[in-house]
Chain A
Amino acid sequence: MVFDVSHLIDYTLHLADDALILGHRNSEWCGHGPVLEQDIAITNISLDLIGQARYFYQYAAQQINKVHESTGEEYGLATEDSLAYLRDTREFKNCLLVEQPNGDWAKTILRQFLFSAYQFYLYDELQNSTVGVLAAIAEKSLKEVTYHLRWSSEWVIRLGDGTAESRRRMVNSIDELWMYTGELFASAGYESGVGEEGIRLDLAAIEVEWIGKVKEVFHEATLDYPRPVFMQSGGKEGIHTENLGYILADLQFIQRAYPNCEW
């Protein structure tokens, strides 16, 4: 079977980058959460996401090394660490939503909810893909994402249907983040590419389920489902908001300054 492995590599990196960048963003709350229990919750979610990113990076690294072996060209060995720490912004394929700044608690919660709802239906489909490793990672991670989705849904409701202040913050967050949701369902080149090879992800079907979930939770939270707005995109293809550069400066500093240092 002829398999264009570059699509598979890009797609795997895309999944990894989404998880890593959101995991990193959430980790910025460590020690700053509004109350201790929720500080622990958001950093637990962070840990799950970074763990998922590691599995995806390990698989991507294997595939990259196989290609390098077969072409006989001299490259350094790809590892989960080299992929996380030594790529530049243009090479990152995460969606724009996950790189948005934490803002206040409402914005962090909403970002988590919008992304977890997407990731839940995505992994639910991905666990049936014919690429065994990706299916296994999705099957494993889906259990964790189930907790993330329930937790973030409940917080959207608590804040949306809470005090005037919490509601105002939640409405502002919707205004700030909604424009980044369209990209989740706009297929990048490699997403169509892997579709031909067994990872048949029906983004349109995932979008329908996602809208259903968001409407259900917003309704419960007494929040209006937003009207259509212009949707930003580009992250999945490596064109990011300026935020990603700052994240990578923080995330990659040690490995850039002290190559191969261990901790």
Chain B
Amino acid sequence: MITHHIHKETIYSYLEEVKDPEVPVLSVMELGIVRDVILHDRDSIEIIITPTYSGCPAMDVIAMNIRIMLSTLGFKKIKITQSLSPAWTSDWITDEGKRKLIDYGIAPPNPRQQVCDPKLFMSDEAVQCPQCDSYHTHRLSEFGSTPCKALYICDDCREPFDYFKCH
């Protein structure tokens, strides 16, 4: 494949195709973890990503999937750099990403200022059930099936659901 006319925007559009393996409806762009794309020359590229959670095993898989995607575009030297600061926040998930989460059955994160402090018995206000849109829900567990999620239940439709934690 000819690569010398590839622009940053093109790379970004390809990154829209790289999904989070744990939440396969979200691309790495919608998840808000791609900080920058640096095209060094026609076969050398660097992608800077910010991890969501320190121990999230999906991060290694995501880095590998980005690498595979770039090598199919013809890049020979691919560098994936992790940037820790500023730390990733769930506020970086795009609106489109949040809409896709709801369709997938995961409640999207509330804005960050609500619950990110250690005060006792704090919990997010008004997490909306992704099934029936009720705000009449409560938290079952602060930790869920992946580091980024908490487990909730809807008090109206009685469906348990994942909530993408504010972070």
Complex: how many Å from CA A54 to CA B55?
8
Task: Indicate which residue in A44, A55, A154, A217 contacts B84 across the interface (CB closer than 8 Å).
Answer: A55
A168 at the interface (CB under 8 A from B): no
Please give, as numbers and ranges, the residues of chain B lying within 8 Å of A30 by CB-CB distance. Answer: none
B51 at the interface (CB under 8 A from A): yes
Q: Looking at the complex, which of B14-22, B39-47, B96-104, B114-122 is the stretch in contact with chain A?
A: B114-122
Complex: how many Å from CA A147 to CA B20?
23
Please give, as numbers and ranges, the residues of chain B lying within 8 Å of A177 by CB-CB distance. Answer: none
B132 at the interface (CB under 8 A from A): no
Q: Is the CB of A51 within 8 A of B118?
A: no
Tell me the chain A residues, 65-116 only, with Cβ under 8 Å from chain B: none
Q: Given A150-B118, A150-B120, answer yes or no on A48-B54 (Cβ-Cβ < 8 Å).
A: yes
Q: Is the CB of B147 within 8 A of A48?
A: yes
Q: Looking at the complex, which of A34-42, A186-194, A227-235, A246-254 is the stretch in contact with chain B?
A: A34-42
Q: Looking at the complex, which of B5-13, B27-35, B73-81, B135-143 is the stretch in contact with chain A?
A: B135-143
A173 at the interface (CB under 8 A from B): no
Q: Is the CB of A50 within 8 A of B85?
A: no
Q: Is the CB of B51 within 8 A of A153?
A: no
Q: Is the CB of B143 within 8 A of A40?
A: yes
Q: Which of A38, A44, A49, A120 has the most CB of B within 10 A?
A: A44
Task: Determine chain B's interface SS by DSSP, over half rule.
Answer: loop
Task: Indicate which residue in B54, B57, B120 contacts A154 across the interface (CB closer than 8 Å).
Answer: B120
A-B pair number, CB within 8 angstroms? 87
Q: Which of B83, B85, B87, B143 has the most CB of A within 10 A?
A: B143
Complex: how many Å from CA A88 to CA B143?
33
Q: Is the CB of B120 within 8 A of A143?
A: no
Count, chain A residues at interface, CB 8 A: 37
A161 at the interface (CB under 8 A from B): no
Q: Smallest distance from the beta carbon of A98 to chain B beta carbons, Å?
A: 16
Chain B residue at smallest Cβ distance from A149: B118
A139 at the interface (CB under 8 A from B): yes
Q: Smallest distance from the beta carbon of B59 to chain A beta carbons, Å?
A: 9
Q: Which of B56, B84, B86, B116 has the most CB of A within 10 A?
A: B84
Please give, as numbers and ranges, the residues of chain A lying within 8 Å of B55 by CB-CB distance. Answer: 23, 46-52, 54
Please give, as numbers and ranges, the residues of chain A lying within 8 Å of B57 by CB-CB distance. Answer: 47
A12 at the interface (CB under 8 A from B): no
A140 at the interface (CB under 8 A from B): yes
Task: Determine chain A's interface SS by DSSP, over half rule.
Answer: helix
Q: Is the CB of B142 within 8 A of A220?
A: no
Q: Smallest distance from the beta carbon of A220 to chain B beta carbons, Å?
A: 7
Chain A residue at smallest Cβ distance from B112: A143
Complex: how many Å from CA A41 to CA B83?
26
Q: Given A139-B87, A140-B51, A146-B116, answer yes or no on A154-B121 (Cβ-Cβ < 8 Å).
A: yes
A151 at the interface (CB under 8 A from B): yes
Q: Is the CB of B120 within 8 A of A153?
A: yes
Task: Indicate which residue in A51, A120, A133 contacts B54 across the interface (CB closer than 8 Å).
Answer: A51
Chain B, 141-165, contact with A by CB distance < 8 Å: what is the 0/1 string?
1111101000100000000000001
Q: Is the CB of A47 within 8 A of B167?
A: no
Please give, as numbers and ranges, the residues of chain B lying within 8 Å of A50 by CB-CB distance. Answer: 55
Please give, as numbers and ranges, the residues of chain B lying within 8 Å of A147 by CB-CB distance. Answer: 142-143, 165
Q: Smallest distance from the beta carbon of A148 to chain B beta carbons, Å?
A: 9
Tell me the chain A residues, 193-252 only, with Cβ under 8 Å from chain B: 217, 220
Task: Indicate which residue in A52, A120, A150 contacts B122 across the interface (CB closer than 8 Å).
Answer: A150
Q: Given A140-B54, A141-B54, answer yes or no on A151-B85 (Cβ-Cβ < 8 Å).
A: no
User: Can you report 17 A-B residue pairs in the complex whose CB atoms are below 8 A from each other?
Assistant: A23-B55, A37-B151, A44-B143, A46-B55, A48-B53, A51-B53, A51-B54, A52-B54, A55-B84, A136-B87, A143-B87, A144-B147, A146-B117, A146-B118, A147-B142, A149-B118, A157-B120
